[in-house]
Amino acid sequence: MANKKRVFLAVSLEKSIIFSLRKGIAKFKKKTRKISSLIRWLPEKNFHLTIIFFGYLSLPEIDILREEAKKIFASQEVFNLFFERICFAPEKKFAKMIWWRGKRSLELEKIRKELTGKLLNRGLSFSTNNRPLVPHITLARLKKILPGAPDISEEFNQEFSVKKIDLFESKLSPQGARYYLLESFPLKNKREANVAQSAEQLHGKE
């Protein structure tokens, strides 16, 4: 589409997390050797947790998105995400992906709800989803929907901090989607905020 970009907001994984995740993926691959030919593992550089997928937006709409996102994320403190297991998804009976699945995050839901509301009020049009966000990172796609997928999962617990939210452009190609970073929005560092607050209180006593 001319003058439009296919964009989404996501949490990217730091290299240390990806390095650790390789162990869990290797164990899951051993459990799924019999159907390995049906599994297309994604490149590690594509691992991310999608918060909001907007689809195609015009350049002025992306400018509005950047403006509102910057305001919201600047006031959102750094928070943690908890991931638990590698498994077939979204339904084991009709699996079409492999996820690293996490626990529900109130912070992510708050971000999504607040930003979606602001953007809709400013006239942006995109598909919204009111269901609770299931934090997950897509690790692989199946070459065909697998009815009756084996009940296989690999427990892989990991906690990490979300320090920024990234805006990506997704370009489709015969080899799969390619992602290009448009902008990163840092979250508020809680420690720095506490230091600033303490300094203000101290100054007020003088």
pLDDT in tens, 89-126: 887 678 899 999 999 999 999 999 999 999 999 989 88
Dihedral, 85, 87, 89, 93 alpha carbons, nearest 10: -130
Burial 104-126 (b: 16+ CB within 10 A, else e): ebeebeebbeebbebbeeeebeb
Q: Inform me whether the pLDDT recorded for 186 exceeds 90.
A: yes
Q: Which of 7-11, 180-184, 187-191 has the lowest mean pLDDT?
A: 187-191
**What pLDDT shows up at residue 174?**
82
Q: How far is CA 168 from CA 9, 21, 127, in A?
A: 6, 22, 17
Question: Is 4-205 CATH 3.40.50.620?
Answer: no
* pTM (two decimals): 0.86
Q: Per residue in 149-173, pLDDT tens?
A: 777 899 999 999 999 999 999 998 8
